[in-house]
Amino acid sequence: MTHLSKSPWILHYDASSCNGCDIEVLACLSPLYDVERFGIINTGNPKHADVLVITGGINEQNRQVVQNLYNQMPDPKVVVAVGICASSGGVFRECYNVVGGIDCIIPVDVYVPGCAARPESIIDGIVRALSILEEKKRMPAHGRATGGGER
Amino acid sequence: MILLEYAVLFIVLAPFIGGLLAGIDRKLTARMQGRVGPPILQPFYDVGKLFQKEQIVVTPSQHFYVLSYLVFIVASGALFFAGGDLLLVIFAFTLAHIFLVLGAYSSYSPYSFIGAERELIQIIAYEPMIILAAVGMYMVTKSFFVWEIMTSSLPLILYLPGVFLGFLMVLTIKLRKSPFDLSTSHHAHQEIVKGVTTEFSGPMLARVEIAHWYENVFLLGFIYLFFAWNPLVGIIAIIVAYLLEILIDNTFSRATWKFTLKSAWIIAGMMGLVNLGVLYYLSGVVPV
Amino acid sequence: MINNDRNLDFTPFEGEFMITLPFLVLFPAVIAILLLLVSADAWRRLVVKAGALIIGIASLYLLFITPETGPGFFPVEFDSISELMFLAEMVIAAFLVYLGIKYKKYLAIFLVVAQAALLVYYESLAATGTHIVPNLFIDQFSLILALIIGIIGSLICVYALGYMATYQEHHPEVRDRRRTFFFLMFFFLSSMFGLVFSDFLPWVFFFWELTTLCSFLLIGYSGTGEAINNAFLALNMNLLGGIAFVGALLYLAFVSPGGELLNISTLIHSGHMVALVPAVLIAFAGITKAALMPFSAWLVGAMVAPTPVSALLHSSTMVKAGVYIIVRFAPVLTGTMEGLIIGLIGGFTFLLASAIAISQSNAKKVLAYSTIANLGLIVACAGVGTYKLVWAAILLIIFHAIAKSLLFLCVGTVEHRIGSKDIEDMTGLIVRMPHVAVMMFIGIAGMFLAPFGMLISKWAAIEAFIEAQFGLIFVAILAFGGSITVFFWSKWMGKIISVCPVAAKVENRIPQEKWIALSLLTAMTVFICLAFPLISSYLIEPFVLSVYGATTRLSQDNVTIMVMMLFLLMIMPFSLLWFRKEKNIVPPYMAGRPATPDLHFLGSMGVTRQVTLGNYYLEEVFGEKRLFMAGTALCFGLILLVGTLTAGVAL
């Protein structure tokens, strides 16, 4: 095991979430759940982050932003889609302006279901992501990944 | 007289002490907020992880500035523990910080640019007080050399209480604690993204972090000088001062640059200068 | 000194003085007149370069003939020189009155006439007294100044060749008076040499007036309304100083009708009773010339002149004449109330001018305020005037001259290539003009960073002030002022080293003369830091020892550490070779906004915008208007105070 899984720094991005999942993500930082126990820190900066936590689905406004944030994170990195909207587009899937889940723009490693996702499952999802992070360190992708194609 | 063995000890031990200190800091902060907090060794995990990350840069010249920052922080800290000239140590530290600021400027990034400007404001806020502290120590011990101040049997703190308080004030700025963490901040705090360090990532950020550990150990060494006549009191003073800084960090909200500059200068002026003035006056009446 | 094997008796060297000192005073004047006559550009280049080379070599030669201890005197056996000088002064006065009438500057006319009248009165007094033989002289301090004038001054003249050619191209509206320009530049050098080699005060005054005249004409070179106004501003302020100088001469003529005290060397050893009043008057003249606070406006105004003129005024001539004379009289001022107040004027000027520099974005104005600040610091050292402080003051003069001339010449070069002297426009200079940017970087580092010169002197000054009387005030001024300088220099540095993603390289077409001057000055900035222990022990310490009987230096440990730091600094850039193969280059963080490589991004309402980053100027706190008013009031008050005190002594 390397230090990667002991110090996951996350970048939380609200794509087009209704703020339900966002509040739950922030609840994880509160004294009750205290994710800093696992060394998790919420950085506001993709260049420092290892885990990209996204709530809400992709729409035309944020599609390039998500791509940009992902590209600016140094490898190895993992993406956690929190909530059903981030996973698949959820109830907004058929909206005229919604593209779909996060995985239609960038590769997603862990899907955390729920509407809203519970803090316990968010923490669980991130901890899952850590083992994927370790794996990515062992088998690095060739060159800088530019993210998945579009669906 | 330069005591090389202490310099070597500093270079070898300071990262461990500094890292441990940062870990304790985070643990205590968490406890003050009613949280469990990360393991004590968390800062080492963080830095270990950063070294395992891929290096991305905005411009390769960032490397030069960050490496220079680390090298000069280590060099000036080593000079301090070797017993060198206190003023030279302070100037070398300023040089090191200018490198950090230049590293932030070099990336032409909006966030690190503002961070750099704020870091400069912080430098002009704390620097006068630190020079005045060195001057105060000279006025009592008649020497700028750290080893002579260390071996002086005079209780400096009794001569320089105002200077010490002023120093504690600027220590908050130097340790990047609230309310003065304008240019970049620690733990989960965010300000203008990450200010000066926004564009540093991976191993480069790890170097910045290690430099900061070295710097913290130097600053605590500076506190020790005030109490050097009695090592036990000195160590207790360091612990109390650091606890106080953690408490301040957790009880104040962030200040504006104007407030930072004004309060640092006013306190340096009131506490430091008045203290030195009294000392200056008394030295004519009672020989120190 | 340098040639240790020379024998100790003095006679053979008088011969060499006889050649070198008057040669250095007269030769630049000859070159100047030659340049007035030559109109072909190729010939001008040849004459300027050859002249500069010879002046440089001749001033280096002084190193070998300056006596190790005390001044070396050289009596001038030509009787009518003083009369000729008087005549020349009257001609100059008439010329200035003519210009005053032409441009309707009545204050200037009044001051010129007042000064001329006083001078005539003085001549009538002096004529009746016994005549003494005036001396040219040289000691280590004069030597240092001569080296600065001879090497830096002539380098600036060489640089001016390239600069003025471009200047006339860029400013077709300015009449091409390059013959006059180069005449004045070399004449300036000549009068500076005369000033530092003269021991006889009326001669010093003559050369003093010549520098005033040269600077007046050079500032007004472009002939625009602003240039003329600023030239007259400089003239008025310097004439005020000149009047004080004549006042000192008159006082001395009354006190010693024989004229023995008119020699600086005798005057500074004649005790406070006699020397204090003329010393304060001359220090006042020095304050006007060195553009300290109530008179700082003229130096800022002088920025309208072409950049080589600014470089010359700021580094090797003019303002250095002001501080030269104050440092000369430091032994008289030390320990007196008057000296302390003069020191305070310098100290406050240092603090406030540094603060004003923060609010300036025009590079030349930043340099101007920084010069004013450093001159203030030098005067603060000289006014308090203990031997340690004089040591620091001389060190400041040397380092400041080199770094400041380098910076001015860099700004001049940049200005011609990018068409602006605003620091905001210098973004990414490291990409656009890499060589000049590195030179500018070194120049700025030389002004405030650790192992470089200016910081050594500030450090020495702090240590020296602690022991001086009322030194705590100055220590505080230095602690605050010193950190303020860090701010404006670093943000300028940051501006030029910002690697902006897309920028065209515009470093071609810089004339060779500019490169010569720039690279030599850069090399000197670095070299002088390595060589400063030698300069200190061979030049500054003997001078301080001969004047005060005691001297100081940095401790050996510190010098070693500084040299190690400098080497470390020189090694560090090589790490770039290691990192240069860095492949993962990503654009800066733009809050997730996709941006083009040249940092255009889609802003709100679908408008495309480009990122521009501007420095902080903190107008509210460090605004020019506010601080300038405060400084003028404060320093004017102090001058009134010292005037009252001196009048008390005199009566």
pLDDT of C190-205, one tens digit each? Answer: 999 999 988 888 889 9
Strongest mean pLDDT among B214-218, C12-16, C499-503? B214-218
Q: What is the pLDDT of residue A142?
A: 53
CB contact under 8 A, B121 and C616: yes
Q: Is B45 in Cβ contact with A7 (below 8 Å)?
A: yes
How many separate helices (H) and strands (E) can be counted in chain B?
A: 12, 0
pLDDT of residue C378: 93
Q: What are the φ/ψ torsions at residue B185 (nearest 5 degrees)?
A: -140, 170
Tokens standing for C158? 């060489």
User: Is residue A143 assigned to a domain?
Assistant: no
Q: Is B158 exposed, middle or buried (0-12, 13-18, 19+ CB in 10 A)?
A: exposed
What residue ranges do the domains of chain B occupy?
4-285
The span from the CA of C59 to the CA of C50, in Å, is: 14
Phi, psi dihedral angles at C75 (to 5 degrees): -70, 140
In the stretch 77-136 of chain A, residues with CB closer than 8 A to chain B read: none
Enumerate long-range contacts of A40-44, CB under 8 Å, 24 or more apart. Answer: A40/A8, A40/A9, A40/A10, A40/A126, A41/A7, A41/A9, A41/A10, A41/B187, A41/B188, A42/A9, A42/A10, A42/A11, A42/A12, A42/B188, A43/A9, A43/A10, A43/A11, A43/B188, A43/B190, A43/B194, A44/A11, A44/B190, A44/B193, A44/B194
Residue C8: the pLDDT is: 38
Residue type, C5: D
| Per-residue confidence (pLDDT) for residue C647, from 0 to 100 | 84
- For residues B153 and B156, give the distance between their C-alpha atoms in angstroms, rounded to a whole number: 9
- Nearest-Cα distance to chain B for A18, in Å, is 24
Residue A65, chain C, CB below 8 Å: the answer is yes
CA distance A65 to chain B (A): 16
Contacts of B56 (CB under 8 A, 6+ apart): A47, A72, A74, B201, B202, C584, C585, C586
Residues of B in contact with A45 (CB under 8 A): 193-194, 198
The H or E element containing residue A9 is strand A9-14
CA distance, residue B24 to nearest chain C CA (Å): 31
pLDDT at res. A148: 37
Q: Which of B89, B120, B199 to mutate to probe the C interface, most C CBs <10 Å? A: B120
Size of interface A-B (CB pairs under 8 A): 80
B57 interaction partners in chain C (CB closer than 8 Å): 582, 584-586
Q: Of B37, B48, B193, which is closest to A36 when you measure between CB atoms? A: B37
Burial of C362 (0-12, 13-18, 19+ CB in 10 A): middle
Is A37 inside any structural domain? yes
* B110 contacts in chain C (CB < 8 Å): 588, 590, 611, 613
Tokens 């005033």 belong to C212
Q: Closest Cα of chain B to C501: distance in Å?
A: 8
Letter for the amino acid at C165?
A
DSSP string of C353-420, one letter each residue = HHHHHHT--BHHHHHHHHHHHHHHHHHHHHHH--HHHHHHHHHHHHHHHHHHHHHHHHHHHHHHHHS-
Closest residue to C483, CB basis, from B1, B109, B128:
B128
Q: What is the overall mean pLDDT for chain A? A: 84
Measured CA to CA, the distance from residue C235 to residue C289 in angstroms comes to: 10
pLDDT of residue C351: 92
Is residue A133 in some structural domain?
yes
> Is B61:C576 a contact under the CB 8 Å cutoff?
yes
Q: Residue C1 — very low, low, confident or very high, per pLDDT cuts 50/70/90?
A: very low
Binned at pLDDT 50, 70 and 90, residue C528 comes out as confident
Which residues are bridge partners to C595 per DSSP? C601
Of B78, B246, B70, B127, residue with least CA distance to B175: B246
Name the nearest CA neighbour of B106 among B54, B66, B55. Answer: B66
Chains near A, with 3+ CB pairs < 8 A?
B, C
Q: What's the farthest any 2 CA atoms get from each other in chain C? A: 88
**In this structure, is residue A103 part of a structural domain?**
yes
Give the DSSP per-residue string, C13-53. HHHHHHHHHHHHHHHHHHHHHHHHH---HHHHHHHHHHHHH
Average pLDDT over residues C16-26: 74
Q: What is the pLDDT of residue B2?
A: 67
Helices B110-141 and B161-174, axial angle in degrees (round to 10): 160
The larger pLDDT score, comparing residue C112 to residue C82, is at: C112
Q: At C15, is the pLDDT very low, low, confident or very high (cuts 50, 70, 90)?
A: low
- H helix or E strand, kind and range, residue A55: strand A51-55
Secondary structure (3-state) at C600: strand
HSE (CB half, 13 Å, CA atoms) of C251?
23
Q: Do C589 and A72 touch (CB under 8 A)?
A: yes
Is C630's pLDDT higher than 80? yes
Asked, for residue A147, whether it belongs to a domain, the answer is: no
List, for residues C594-616, the tens digit of each pLDDT value: 777 778 888 778 788 888 888 88
Q: Which residue of C has its CA nearest to B278?
A: C472
Tally of domains within chain A:
1
CA torsion through residues B147, B151, B154, B156, sign:
positive
Average pLDDT over residues C518-540: 86
Taking residue B116's Cβ as centre, other Cβ atoms within 10 Å add up to: 31
Residue B129 exposed, middle or buried by CB count within 10 Å (0-12, 13-18, 19+): buried
Q: pLDDT-based confidence at C2, cuts 50/70/90?
A: very low
* C584 contacts A68? CB cut-off 8 A: no
Cα–Cα distance, C326 to B165 (Å, whole number): 40
pLDDT reading at C429 higher than 70: yes
State whether residue B49 sits within 8 Å of chain A by CB.
yes
Task: Give the position of tokens 């800093």.
Answer: A36
Kindly report, residue by residue over C85-127, the tens digit of the pLDDT: 888 888 999 998 898 888 888 888 899 899 889 888 888 877 6
Do C599 and B108 count as a contact with CB atoms less than 8 A apart? Answer: yes
The distance of B35 to chain C (nearest Cα, Å) reads 30
Q: What is the pLDDT of residue A3?
A: 78
Give the residue ranges of chain B where pLDDT is below 50: 286, 288
Helices (H) and strands (E) in chain C, counts: 28, 4
Closest CA to A55 of A23, A95, A27: A23
Testing the interface with A: which of C586, C590, C596, C600 to mutate, by most A Cβ within 10 A?
Answer: C586
Six token digits for residue C382: 């000289």
Domain of A134, in residue numbers: 3-138
Instruction: Say which residues have a Cβ less than 8 Å from residue C84's Cβ, sequence separation at least 6.
Output: none
* H or E element that contains C634: helix C624-650
Q: Does A142 touch chain C (CB under 8 A)?
A: no
- The CATH number of residue A8's host domain is 3.40.50.12280
Check residue A117 and report its DSSP letter: P
pLDDT at A20 over 80: yes
Q: What is the rounded distance in angstroms from the CA atom of residue B206 to the CA atom of residue B201?
A: 8
C-alpha span between C323 and C311 (Å, rounded) = 16
- Whole-model pTM? 0.91
Please tell me the predicted confidence (pLDDT) of residue C427: 85
Task: Report if residue A149 sits inside a domain.
Answer: no
- Structure-token match 């030769």, residue found: C27
Q: Determine, for residues A65 and C584 on separate chains, whether the beta-carbon distance falls below 8 Å.
A: no
Task: Give CA–CA dist B100/C350, Å, rounded.
Answer: 27
Contact between C613 and B110 using a beta-carbon 8 Å cutoff: yes
Alpha helices in C135-224 (DSSP H): 140-147, 154-170, 178-197, 201-219
> In chain C, which residues have their Cβ closer than 8 Å to the Cβ of B124?
483-484, 486-487
